[in-house]
Amino acid sequence: MRNRSVSIIFGSLVLWAVATYFLFLDQQSVGKDLDKDKLSNQISRLEKQVKQQIIINQRLLEGINESKRRKKEYDRLNAPVQSPADDTGKNEYKKHEVRKPDSILLQKLMDKNDREKSKNEPMSTQDIISSTEPVHSIPSRQKLPNGNPIIAILVISCNRITVERCLDQLIRLRPDKEQFPIVVSQDCDHRQTADVIARYGNELLHIKQPDQSDIEIPPKEKKFRGYFKIARHYKWALNQVFIKLGYSTAIIVEDDLDIAPDFYEYFLGTYPLLVNDSSLWCVSAWNDNGKAGLVDESAPFLLYRTDFFPGLGWMLTRDLWLELAPKWPKSYWDDWIRQPEQRKNRACIRPELSRTRTFGKLGVSNGLFFEKHLKYIKLNEKFVPFTKMNLSYLLKDNYDIAFVNQVYESTVVSYSELKSGNIVGTGSVRIPYYTRQSFKNTTKLLGLMDDFRSGVPRSGYRGVVTFFYNGRRVHLAPSANWSGYDITWS
């Protein structure tokens, strides 16, 4: 019995030893398999990283080659633009046609500006646009092979499907697709609007604002959230046009604007002034006081300088954007741009008859001014050949002397005399104002805009608001010894 027990115990021990041995071998096998799997995974990851690095290197090489190609193309195309000259214009525009001395004047201005620019190093684009991709130096897209300027049309869009009304006109009236590339920048991530824009295919470039995050807004300004989003969108869109796409000039158009038949001609004609006269910083298609009854509809060729930034269809250069971008505000960008720190005593060109008109009653301003003012703006209907006209009268040195003389040599009249038409003579007249309140009282009687921005009245130049009333040119003007705008009048 004892021997049997010993045998059973001995057999159990042997069985346990054999089982333990095979279990140990199996664990080693599993460990080896795990090591093999781990090593295999590491090799796969390494192989993937190598492939990714090869792709990145290829893209960098392509970017460098593309930059070299663009540099060569830029050097080839960057020849001086000659001002158009044509003596075959209609009789009503003859006195504005370009003559040889004027084209020489513009050429001298261009040479002077080139010398000034060569003294200063260009601002780094790294300070303007942030990106995870390498930033290469992109030559500005300035001219076509024939020497004509390339001017991008930047359409600011959000959630209006009626953007098609604006785009239809821009495309239908566009004289040259290559000269006026259309870039539609869409915010709001609105699917229906995106679908409308997509229908235009290669007629335009559709870009989308990627940042749809909430914006930090002061508690007192929560109801003005839209103005914060608009400012953010403008900055992103302008960076895309001037920095990423490399255009040197752009016209900004909101998605709720109609345009005149000579919209493109107007900007082409004034382009040489903008790029050569350092006292100008924009050309606007808008007349703030351009309501029917306050403009001379028989003189669509008349243009003016204005200290007030009009917006609503306006042209600017890449150089100006590089100046403004680093300090771009978080909201209310249009009032910010009218401040003395930004304007720096520079002026804009504006027309007698507007080349744009808004049809967007509803928006972030909730129809502010629309019913009382904006819907009455007269849109020009006649084509004016601005590129064939002599516009050198708008250069500051020429304009200021003639303008001041015209204003202060005009007959002084009262509002009642102007309204009754009981005025001797046919020339322009002047209604004086000396205080903020007297200005406001007179503008309300005449139907003019009565507000100030940073002390500047709408459409004003040297404090003078010029308009048309009862068949007569009228200047609402301060005293002749005017010394500048009073910011407290705002």
CA-closest candidate to residue 139, choices 82, 217, 86, 67: 67
Catalytic residue among 296, 334, 335, 400: 334
Q: Which residues contact 56 (CB under 8 A, 6 or more apart)?
A: none
Q: Which amino acid is at 285?
A: A
Can 334 be counted among the known catalytic residues?
yes
What are the tokens at 398? 């020429």
Q: Which residues is 283 bridged to in the sheet?
A: 315, 349
Torsion angle of alpha carbons 218, 220, 225, 228, nearest 10°?
-50
**Long-range contact set of residues 424-431: C-beta below 8 Å, sequence gap at least 24:** 426/472, 427/473, 428/472, 428/473, 428/474, 428/475, 429/472, 429/473, 429/474, 429/475, 430/474, 430/475, 430/476, 430/477, 431/474, 431/475, 431/476, 431/477
As to burial, measured by CB atoms within 10 angstroms (0-12 exposed, 13-18 middle, 19+ buried), residue 39 is exposed
> Exposure of 10 by Cβ count < 10 A (0-12 exposed, 13-18 middle, 19+ buried)?
exposed
Which residues are known to be catalytic?
334
